[in-house]
Structure 1
């Protein structure tokens, strides 16, 4: 997954395997995808901050989360543009844009544009729940 020197958090494949569950490792480090409508954050409306499950870096805020009914949590923007890395993905016979954590290079999901959801950015960051950890706001 990317060149290790490019990320602030660098761990060996063995270290990632020790720290992550098999499903987390498959998605975060192997660019896998969890089955649609099975993730813990797909429909949650809890206010808070979504961080990378692998390294803890902030990625998204609940204020940009919306219901896209696609089977995965959807956000219209990251909490800061430099929190995520966008990479051209030509796998599976199509061209998509992969979203990775800019801190550790872990796979999060994909971003799509122009789908008509009426969000401020006209983007849908389609993110695997297993790639995220939600820290609820203090008001909860």
Structure 2
């Protein structure tokens, strides 16, 4: 048996993405990891809806995202629009070029607040970077 084939098969079974929702008191953090494309869209939609329903500002941490598909960018834009005028904020955290470039090309950087790290996000919101209050949801791609 070719060992390269085994590695390839093992890699194919690993989830391509994960999305976690974490409660930090005054802020809810939605963390997207891996390839956030069409496959991740339903889970991201559910996670963002859950975070928005808590009535607090939302930080979307994409520092470990490999890429973002157009459906994910649409979800971010919709969530940002939903929070406008509510006194709450949506902040996207990333330095990943494959995420920043499409945000800029689609001018979503004008709609969304983009920062480089969680410290900057919490500073922008004017709240201390508090310890985790609870994990509201920890989900990944279905098996």
Verify same fold: TM over 0.5. Answer: no
TM-score of the aligned structures, taking structure 2 as reference length: 0.28
TM-score of the aligned structures, taking structure 1 as reference length: 0.28
